Chains A and B, each alone.
Chain A
Amino acid sequence: MKKLMLTSLVLVFLLSAAGLFAGGEAEAVEDKMIIKVAEQVPNLITPGVWDGQAFSLNPSIYDYLIEMDANTGELIPALATEWTTDDGIVWTFKLRKGVRFHDGTDFTAEDVKFTLERTQDPALGHLKAQDFSVVEKIETPDPYTVVITLKEALPTFMYAMTDYNMAVLSSEYDYGTYGESAPMGTGAFKMEQLIPKESALLSKNESYWQPGLPKADELQIYFVADIDASVSLLEAGEVDIVPQISPTIKTRLEGLGGFKVVSPYQESRFIAMAQDREPFDDNLVRLAFKYAVDPEILAKACQGTLGETIYYNETPIVNALAQYKEIPNRGQDIDKARELLAEAGYPDGLTVDFYYGSDHPYGTEIAQTLKELTAPAGFELDLKGFPRDIYLSQYWMNAPMSLTGWGVRVDPSMLLSLAFYSKGPWNESHMNDPEVDDLIDKIKGEVDDAKRQSYYDRLQEAFFERGTTLNLQVPYLVGLSENVKDYRQPVTMISQLKYAEIE
């Protein structure tokens, strides 16, 4: 028996020793610049189909027609060298010459055409199907020119090209060959090895069109489901970049030293009140709810400070955009809220089912805080939290009240027609307001900036008066080790790791 005991002890020892040696092995690798990222996306990379493409993997493999400058917010040419339109209906894109896909084939107008037409494939369920349904026809007069004719004028159409779903694919793209196991684009990095739900290894695209880029030789991405695990890898020096960390971890990392936390942009959390069903069909109830909310508490619950890291307003337009109109918060007023509720016919309060994705960042915190905050005014929120994908596929769009995360649309009009237009496909609050519809139509067709802005101003006032949504802006935080330089991620959410380097 003692023998067994000894054997097991020896085993433990051997295993530990093996571990130590393994640790040493990694350091022996020659002098390459390697950027290591840990993120929660499992591995999914099919462009157009899932949100996870916003993470590091896709933007490194693929390119877009137009990029956004992370610092200035200006549009900069990428695969398209210039884009022009006269009336907002016919758009001409000139393409960059000499760009090659990772498999050596040339990048041409056919590829762009394929990428755009793919959005309308019904079996795919492309996330941009709605945005591009406005496209009438796509012509390729020569290999480096694409002419797009729209059904109606859309002066901000070029912004649609910056969306993360619009990575330019080779026209030979299909699941079988270039699908999830062997993705291929024109991007700064080439896929070397992909282990789904585990890790991906990317190497520098030596023939990248942008001279001097990418700066790193190798990109290593770990798919770690658990954010805490990712952070511990960062702390242990195993990785350099961890996106989507929580404010608490931010505080910790900053306290530890050797790390920095950046917030490239903010995301929105829309609290939607369905306009077509009880009780929020009555604007008094919506107003009552708005009066019951204390944004400061909400911000604290999200571990931030209102006005510094967290923003709150009653319109869907985020404060970082030029189109935003500053309207002061109405402030919490429980008495007023009760009054309004009584006026609406609910003197004893009311119960509402509140649906949300329980595993989405900030989801649980916001839901629980709202429940607490609005209870004194007479609202009883019945929390219905579901895993995010279940929430989205089964409950979202069909709930009296819901909480959903929204990425930033660089052009707010895209968002408005999607989510607040009465016939909008993602009109989660079932908003049906003639004035808002009218304003959205005007904004989309208006070429003159000042006029367009005046419509935006009026629209935001209308939202303040009778809108169906509350917008909580939460920071998107990325934890970095101190030696990471030039981490860029514009509001398009596309990380531009090609600029990043390790000192």
Chain B
Amino acid sequence: MQFLTWLIKRLGFVILTLVAMSMLIFLLVEVMPGDVAQTVLGQSATPESVAALRESMGLDDPLPVRYGRWAGGFIQGDLGESLYMRGVQINTIFWRKVGHSVILALTALLFYVPLSIFFGVLAGVKAGKLTDSIISFFGLATMALPEFVSGILLITLFSVKLSILPITSVIPIGQSLWGNLHILILPALSITFVMFGYVSRMQRSSMVTVMNSDYIRAATLKGMPRGYVIFRHALRNALLPTITIIGMNMGWLFGGLIVVETLFGFPGLGSLTLSAIKTRDIPLIEACVLFITAIFVFSTFLTDMLYVYLNPRIRFKGGDA
């Protein structure tokens, strides 16, 4: 019951955040200098035609009205019409790219989560030893490389020198991403590079904290084998902060996707966002940014739930004897 109340409260907050965020994004984009109608009509626009377009786009309405119209459309699943590709409903292009990006992000997660947890735990268990130093430095180095630098390195190695993976992540016409999963590898690896350092360092430090804790000492002095102590006693507690980090960084991951997708020409949300920004396609920018933030909000929410599920201290809060 208590959990349900918590869940409802939390969900309410998620919705509230999304509403506030949509306002923020709307304001951010709408308040920017430059006239949308002018941008659409471009160089040849006469004042009359600009005014006509403003009128037909409803740009002269007061801000709240415009926000209401925009947000109302969103709720009904109508993302609006692209400014740049006139007449194109954003819905018709948006979800395909989102799907691609989600697949890419999940692939990257599949790469870096096990890798960084494994090496983070290893470094944490071997804290202070050579293994630890090597893993830690490697983590630091990969974390320090911006995605585009590691991406270029990967391209040079796998595509130029070895020629085993494509430079560009283009989906051949008439095929879907599922038939071309190999184009995911390099982009996912470049994300893995950055995230690996971040997550493995987190995992290491939480593992070190846990391994130095009283209950690990107690478990060892109960005569439990080391491997057992690490897996049964330490890992679960040491994973908790890492899970939070991974969840909290989902938004960040999608931010990183912009760079990676641009570098590899991957047809996803990230490259869509950049092209929307470059073409000042305001409805599309709004849709992209709102979606990226929504991913963040929901992944935070899911992380919280997972955290609660894994952490009996929170799960049974208030259930004291």
Contacts and interface: CB of A to CB of B under 8 A. Distances in A.
A224 B168 contact: yes
A181 B280 CA distance: 20
A229 B185 contact: no
Interface stretch (A4-12, A145-153, A258-266): A4-12
Nearest to A178: B87
A26 B172 contact: yes
A229 B175 contact: no
Contacts, number: 177
Interface in B97-139: 97, 107, 110-111, 114-115, 117-118, 121-122
11 contacts: A11-B110, A16-B165, A22-B181, A42-B275, A122-B48, A123-B56, A125-B44, A125-B45, A125-B53, A179-B87, A426-B43
Interface of B: 34, 38-46, 48-49, 52-53, 56, 84-88, 92-93, 96-97, 107, 110-111, 114-115, 117-118, 121-122, 159, 164-168, 170-175, 179-185, 231, 262, 264-265, 267, 271-272, 275, 278-280
Nearest to A235: B167
A200 B225 CA distance: 62
A238 interface: yes
B174 A201 contact: yes
Given A43-B85, A125-B40, A193-B173, A25 B96 contact: no
A220 B280 contact: no
A219 to B, nearest CB: 10
Contacts of B56: 123
Nearest to B110: A11
A16 B44 contact: no
Contact of B168 (A175, A232, A393): A232
Contacts of A226: 168, 262, 265
A18 B46 contact: no
Contact of A15 (B39, B164, B182): B182
Contacts of A397: 43
Given A175-B86, A387-B278, A15 B184 contact: yes
A198 interface: yes
A225 interface: yes
B121 to A, nearest CB: 6
Nearest to A390: B280
A393 B87 contact: no
Closest CB pairs A-B (n = 10)? A19-B182, A175-B87, A179-B87, A125-B41, A229-B265, A4-B114, A122-B49, A232-B167, A229-B168, A18-B181
A211 B2 CA distance: 77
Nearest to A239: B170
Contacts of A8: 110-111, 114-115
B279 A389 contact: yes
Contact of A42 (B46, B85, B118, B167): B85
Contact of B42 (A38, A230, A389): A389
Interface string A223-254: 01110011011001010000000000000000
Contacts of A393: 34, 38-39, 42-43
Contact of A25 (B34, B179, B185, B272): B179
A134 interface: no
A123 B96 CA distance: 31
Given A197-B271, A229-B265, A397-B43, 7 more contacts: A1-B122, A8-B115, A19-B183, A42-B84, A201-B174, A224-B168, A225-B262
B52 A197 contact: no
Interface string A138-177: 0000000000000000000000000000000000000110
Contact of B173 (A43, A222, A394): A222
Given A46-B87, A196-B85, A127 B173 contact: no
A225 B265 contact: yes
A20 interface: yes
A123 B62 CA distance: 22
A130 interface: yes
Given A180-B88, A229-B167, A238-B170, A197 B93 contact: yes
Contacts of B46: 122
Contacts of B173: 36, 193, 199-201, 220, 222
